[in-house]
Structure 1
Amino acid sequence: MSGAPGRHRRAAPSTAGTRAVIFDLDGVLTDTAELHYQSWQRMAGVLGVEFDRAANEALRGLSREESLKRFLGPRLDEFSGPRRQEIMRLKNDDYLSRVEQMTPGDLLPGISDLLPELRRRGARLAIASSSRNARRVIERLEIGHWFEVIVDGNDAPRSKPDPQLFLLAAERLGARPSACVVVEDAESGIDAALAAGMRVVGVGPRERVGRADRQVQTTGELTAELLLGD
């Protein structure tokens, strides 16, 4: 597959020996941001909370609980613990109903070619997502067979930017952190990968992913050569 080279922010660590690639899910393999936006918008209408696309963008990569705190903002203290749990449940139910409409056609550009090419070159693949719904999304996309390891929010109590998710994925792959490259689209995920001692390729605008070792604008620019250094 074709793709433009990643843009440098700084001298990237050597790719020599990289044979494990750990992908974030949302915004890297598929884009569920619009589904989350629609679900949060529905809750905003019910609760009278101000919420727009910029606010939704700020939730990228956050855990369910942290997303709710950001969503409610200054009104957080108006809602009791049980009420917050109910809001999260209602939002999640709405989101899952939208996930059920997903198909393999919802993979982001280039991903359907990239995954088999990485495997052909001997790379070991994992997904590390803060989402507790990651496995259902993966089922709908029909990509689970490409990955040896899937780690989600049910496996690790500490979400990104804590490195726990990525370190757990590497451990289950049997790979050293220094032999792993992470593909991320969120600032919190990039911080987590760097804290784990892994190389990071960021997907998205520089203002969001600029701390990554390499940066591309879109998933269509990701190549096996960029990720593995072959």
Structure 2
Amino acid sequence: MVDFKNIKGFVFDLDGVIADTSVYHSKAWHQLADELGVQWSEDLANNLKGVSRMDSLELILKTGGKENDYTQEEKEKYAAKKNTNYLELLKGMNASAILPGISDFLTSLEEHDYKLSLASASKNSPLVLEQLGLAQYFKEKVDPSTLKHGKPDPEIFARGAEVLGLKPEECIGIEDAKVGVESINSAGETSIGIGDPNILNEADINFTSTTDLTLNNIQKAMEVGQLND
């Protein structure tokens, strides 16, 4: 594992790491799945985490055996409809949706002069950050519309380091989804998984809650990892 003192930047996912926006995404996708006649389930909801809009729609259609029932144009209309539903739900979002410990962690990173970037597959992430009151921390963001590949491909996290002017090995990526952790690892960054360690077992460091996300805890975990290497 990389030495903690060589870390200069942090690349963040948004949903499930900074704020609980996954609830809004799930509600919007659930609404669309009902309209398409696809059975909604907790497994399906979990499989959509960290996945781009069009890939999520494809997964829902495949789950219902309907992947060949619609033209590309029709699929794009359904994806746009989901986004409209999501934006309507977002109107009720405020700082109360920020996950525990995240505001303090961002303040700590800023005080210690770490560079921060956002690597979210959501095209609505700038709007979400504004509504949460956290936009000032993320002057650098990866524009998902410029990406050719979705997670677990490393492109989004590699770009997250690039927009900071840093090498991947100088960055820590933070994710709550399995595909996101795979993306971070493939990009050559140190990965932190937030959530169930059995699901996020490929993460270099695992915290079950965002409340554990502190510089002190990260340094300790990296030092232990170096001893175990």
TM-score norm. by structure 2 comes to 0.91
Does residue 31 in structure 1 map to residue 20 in structure 2? Answer: yes
1:35-46 aligned within 5 A: 35-46=24-35
| Contact persistence 2:154–2:187 (CA under 8 A) | yes
- The runs of 5 or more residues in structure 2 that have no matched partner are 224-229
- Structure 1 residues 228, 132: closer, same or farther in 2, change over 3 A? farther
Q: Deviating runs (4+, > 3 A) in structure 1?
A: 226-230
User: What corresponds to 2:150 in structure 1?
Assistant: 159
How do 1:30-109 and structure 2 match up within 5 A?
30-73=19-62, 74-109=65-100
The match for 2:112 is: 121
What is the Cα deviation at residue 228 of structure 1?
5.3
What's the secondary structure of 2:117's corresponding residue? strand
Aligned pair partner of 2:162 in 171, 175, 193 = 171
Q: Which residue of 1 aligns with 2:227?
A: none
Matched, 1:180 2:171: yes
CA distance in 2, matches of 1:29, 1:155: 22
RMSD value over aligned CA atoms?
A: 1.5
Is the Cα contact below 8 Å between 1:129 and 1:151 reproduced in 2?
Answer: yes
Aligned partners of 2:99 and 2:210 also within 8 Å = yes
Q: How far apart, in 1, do the equivalents of 2:31 and 2:187 lie?
A: 36
2:17–2:99 contact (8 Å) kept in structure 1: yes
Q: Work out the CA distance in 1 between the residues paired with 2:72 and 2:147.
A: 22
- How far did 1:34 drift? 1.4
Q: Deviations over 1:23-70 (max 9, x none)?
A: 110010011121112112211222211112221111111111110111
TM-score (norm 1): 0.90
Equivalent residue, structure 1, for 2:5 = 16
SS in 2 for 1:101: coil
Q: Answer whether contact 1:202 1:216 (CA < 8 A) is retained.
A: yes
CA shift digits 1:80-105 (9 cap, x unpaired): 21211111111110011111211011
Counterpart secondary structure, 1:125: strand
Aligned with 2:202 (options 207, 211, 220):
211
Match of 1:189 in 2: 180
Counterpart Cα distance in 2 of 1:155 and 1:221: 33
Q: Pick the aligned partner of 2:215 from 200, 209, 224.
A: 224
Relative contact order higher in (CA < 8 Å, ≥ 6 apart): 1
1:201 and 1:208 map into 2 onto residues whose CA distance is 13
Q: Could you tell me which amino acid in structure 1 is paired with residue 46 of structure 2? A: E
Contact 2:2 2:169 (C-alpha < 8 Å) held by counterparts: no
8 Å CA contact 2:21–2:97 kept in 1: the answer is no
Letter in 2 for 1:30: A
**Number of matched residues?**
219
Fraction of identical pairs, as percent:
32
Contact 1:41 1:51 in 2 (8 A): yes
TM-superposition CA deviations, 1:155-195 (whole Å, max 9, x none): 32322111111111211111111110011111111111111
